[in-house]
Chain A
């Protein structure tokens, strides 16, 4: 299994995540799809790191993981706050920031 397989898989997962963001309405699930895209990126990073032969890609992947965790924390905190205010958990109804 050469590297290109991993990369193809990674792009497929990335595309899946993108489609998921566009078609789901709940912010929860959209965040999950964001996780999908981030992990696809991680996979690509690690595959390239193996291809090149040094471990810098893996370190990068670790940092990405940390950032994903932070983002999840903040995103979920937002969702909780929205839920607490009894606003609909529906990305289409939360649209006051518009021109």
Chain B
């Protein structure tokens, strides 16, 4: 079996799973559907391993294959195929996506039980994995756009999964609309690429580009900027980020899979895949890096004041993706992708733990109401701590090695890029603070009422389902989890998934220790060999110095959080009161939503209103009714001739005769 055959299998299995569950949802029992869904992704992961082994069996230079099943269109200069491109980058992404997805499917198997929409959930989830794999394995830009759009749709379907909730459907629409804006950018970029280079296939595009474009020529810069629009919308970077916090309306496994591990990393993948073009347009690459940096800092500051547990983790995701975007834009390709991998592990884990806690709280997500779960839910607390440590880049965890590698590369590149290093470390400090803010608020301390109930009775707190955001009662018929909530301690699939991820979050960093083994870098080298930026390596000493600084910052961040939330619990309140304006600004998410409402939503609504009231009524309707009225008027004029008076008919006769005679007289004279 060649690598491309494995790749086709990887694509096929989730699709089959999705279709099978969708078509058989009436006959399949719930557990069987869940098992099929999980098994489909698990098998896809194994096929990914197969592809990996095939690739490893070849020499590094030969590790890129393209294979196509059939032609979509080959006419008039177009040649679009249904084709995949298998190289270390795509196999890496496939493994990350399928691996984490399998674990999340396993988690959902337990978490989503007793949900009315269980089958729908697994069908959608499998479809999402299929789309993400299509995006990653696509061999030409057209198929990339197809996968991109499918992923957007899957995200919409899963965010508004509990569709009777008004907030959920609104969030789904918001996510979709912003993603479509990104799609426009991506599509225009593809058009431009075709116009300049005449092809959509990856291999040809990346081979031709250095010969056709000069550095910083307007066309390649435009292409890269449009690609960035797409990447930023999908990866929730400024200014297209407002959909991600609202997307937390979806079930927790959705947040964990789509909005932490996979979909939001599509932008990072895109930049890494098209790195050849970004090398030719350094301005665009620098813009991307600055946007990533800005997002990193903005999201970090907002996460400091968020009181909704899932939204706080969402802002943390935004911030970490800022690191990744920054990384692949400045040339730290393998570092950025390594961070992608480790982030998938610990962020998915954090969401899973958060889901468990929220379930224990009967869907209450406000951390002000949570405390003392460390005693009530030991397993969940332990895994949450693992994830938190990795996120805060505690020395030795996976996040530690990945995040600091990006910053070390930035300082190795030198010059202007030192800013990235400095501000990146500041961002790391913020990360550590807000992560442990969450952990110290929720886990230690006196147990809250729900936690008490859990400790004493072992039962999860049962509450009448209502939407905490709007206060309205939930509709449990369509799939809101109803009265049964599932926590990790009581569900073995959840425990299994979280356990594996906890292990990975803690120890996955050991594959890329500077100076010791750099498996990721070596694996991805052939892909990025054509970029001059990849040749820049921080020296081992500089790397370890960076790691030391990172460790210091992480520990100090944890220490500050400890001091603020454990030693002096009244200090945060006092700080908030002292810095009230700043706090309000941050709590309102830097007023981005209001800005977009003002700049985009209101003008669009005004245009719509104008079109409906004025244009439609006067121009379009006016044209049609006006035509009818004109015809009717003309008819009325003509009808007036038939007035019934004999003498007027006689007059017409005589007048006609006189006229004719005149004509003949004049024409013959």
Direct contact of A and B (CB under 8 A): yes
Give Cα distance in the complex from A98 to B639, angstroms: 9
Contact with A along B636-661 (1 / 0, CB 8 A): 00010111111100110010000000
- Chain B residue numbers with a CB within 8 Å of A99 are 639, 641-643
If A18-B654, A22-B651 touch, whether A96 touches B644 (CB-CB below 8 Å) is yes
Work out how many contacts link A and B, with CB atoms closer than 8 A: 29
Q: Is A82 an interface residue (CB 8 A)?
A: no
Q: Is A21 an interface residue (CB 8 A)?
A: yes
CB of B647 within 8 A of CB of A95, answer no
- Chain A residue numbers with a CB within 8 Å of B654 are 18, 21-22
- Chain B residue numbers with a CB within 8 Å of A18 are 654
Give Cα distance in the complex from A98 to B651, angstroms: 16
Q: Is A97 an interface residue (CB 8 A)?
A: yes
For residue A89, give the distance in angstroms from its CB to the closest CB of chain B. 13
**Count of residues in B whose CB is under 8 Å from the partner chain:** 11
Report A59-99 residues with CB < 8 Å from chain B CB: 91-92, 94-99
Give Cα distance in the complex from A76 to B196, angstroms: 93
CB of B647 within 8 A of CB of A98, answer no
Partner of B645, one of A21, A30, A95: A95
- Chain A residue numbers with a CB within 8 Å of B650 are 21-22
For residue B659, give the distance in angstroms from its CB to the closest CB of chain A. 14
For residue A82, give the distance in angstroms from its CB to the closest CB of chain B. 13
Give Cα distance in the complex from A94 to B645, angstroms: 8
- Chain B residue numbers with a CB within 8 Å of A94 are 646
For residue B268, give the distance in angstroms from its CB to the closest CB of chain A. 78
Give Cα distance in the complex from A98 to B645, angstroms: 8
If A18-B654, A22-B651, A22-B654 touch, whether A98 touches B646 (CB-CB below 8 Å) is no
Give Cα distance in the complex from A34 to B392, angstroms: 115
Give Cα distance in the complex from A98 to B646, angstroms: 10
- Chain A residue numbers with a CB within 8 Å of B639 are 99
Give Cα distance in the complex from A30 to B646, angstroms: 10
Query: DSSP majority for the B interface?
Result: helix
CB-nearest residue of chain A to B638: A99
Give Cα distance in the complex from A22 to B644, angstroms: 14
Give Cα distance in the complex from A11 to B360, angstroms: 115
Report B620-635 residues with CB < 8 Å from chain A CB: none
CB of B647 within 8 A of CB of A21, answer yes
Give Cα distance in the complex from A18 to B647, angstroms: 10
Give Cα distance in the complex from A97 to B642, angstroms: 8
Give Cα distance in the complex from A18 to B654, angstroms: 8
Give Cα distance in the complex from A99 to B646, angstroms: 13
CB of A95 within 8 A of CB of B651, answer no
- Chain B residue numbers with a CB within 8 Å of A92 are 645, 647
- Chain A residue numbers with a CB within 8 Å of B644 are 95-98
For residue B634, give the distance in angstroms from its CB to the closest CB of chain A. 14
Of B639, B647, B654, the most chain A CB neighbours within 10 A belong to B647
Give Cα distance in the complex from A11 to B654, angstroms: 14
Give Cα distance in the complex from A98 to B644, angstroms: 4
CB-nearest residue of chain A to B650: A21
CB-nearest residue of chain A to B643: A98
- Chain A residue numbers with a CB within 8 Å of B642 are 98-99
For residue B639, give the distance in angstroms from its CB to the closest CB of chain A. 5
CB-nearest residue of chain B to A91: B646
For residue B641, give the distance in angstroms from its CB to the closest CB of chain A. 8
CB-nearest residue of chain A to B646: A91
CB-nearest residue of chain B to A98: B644
Give Cα distance in the complex from A98 to B643, angstroms: 5
- Chain A residue numbers with a CB within 8 Å of B643 are 95, 98-99
For residue A95, give the distance in angstroms from its CB to the closest CB of chain B. 3
CB-nearest residue of chain A to B639: A99
Of B646, B651, B654, the most chain A CB neighbours within 10 A belong to B646
For residue B161, give the distance in angstroms from its CB to the closest CB of chain A. 67
For residue A69, give the distance in angstroms from its CB to the closest CB of chain B. 22
CB of A91 within 8 A of CB of B645, answer yes
For residue A74, give the distance in angstroms from its CB to the closest CB of chain B. 15
- Chain B residue numbers with a CB within 8 Å of A22 are 647, 650-651, 654
Report A1-42 residues with CB < 8 Å from chain B CB: 18, 21-22, 30
Of B639, B645, B651, the most chain A CB neighbours within 10 A belong to B645
Give Cα distance in the complex from A96 to B645, angstroms: 9
CB-nearest residue of chain B to A25: B647
- Chain B residue numbers with a CB within 8 Å of A98 are 642-644
- Chain A residue numbers with a CB within 8 Å of B646 are 30, 91, 94-95
Give Cα distance in the complex from A18 to B643, angstroms: 20
For residue A79, give the distance in angstroms from its CB to the closest CB of chain B. 13
Contact with A along B96-133 (1 / 0, CB 8 A): 00000000000000000000000000000000000000
Report B43-83 residues with CB < 8 Å from chain A CB: none
Give Cα distance in the complex from A22 to B646, angstroms: 9
- Chain A residue numbers with a CB within 8 Å of B651 are 22
Of A91, A92, A94, A99, the most chain B CB neighbours within 10 A belong to A99
CB-nearest residue of chain B to A21: B650
CB-nearest residue of chain B to A92: B645
For residue A14, give the distance in angstroms from its CB to the closest CB of chain B. 10
- Chain B residue numbers with a CB within 8 Å of A97 are 644
For residue B183, give the distance in angstroms from its CB to the closest CB of chain A. 60
* Contacts A95-B645, A98-B642, A99-B639 known; 19 new A-B pairs at CB < 8 A: A18-B654, A21-B647, A21-B650, A21-B654, A22-B650, A22-B654, A30-B646, A91-B645, A91-B646, A92-B647, A94-B646, A95-B643, A95-B644, A95-B646, A96-B644, A97-B644, A98-B643, A99-B641, A99-B643
| 8 A-B pairs closest in CB distance | A95-B644, A99-B642, A98-B644, A99-B639, A98-B642, A91-B646, A21-B650, A18-B654
Which residues in A have some Cβ–Cβ distance to B below 8 Å? Answer: 18, 21-22, 30, 91-92, 94-99
Can you list 20 A-B contacts (CB < 8 A)? Answer: A18-B654, A21-B647, A21-B650, A21-B654, A22-B647, A22-B650, A22-B651, A30-B646, A30-B647, A91-B645, A91-B646, A92-B647, A95-B644, A95-B645, A97-B644, A98-B643, A98-B644, A99-B639, A99-B642, A99-B643
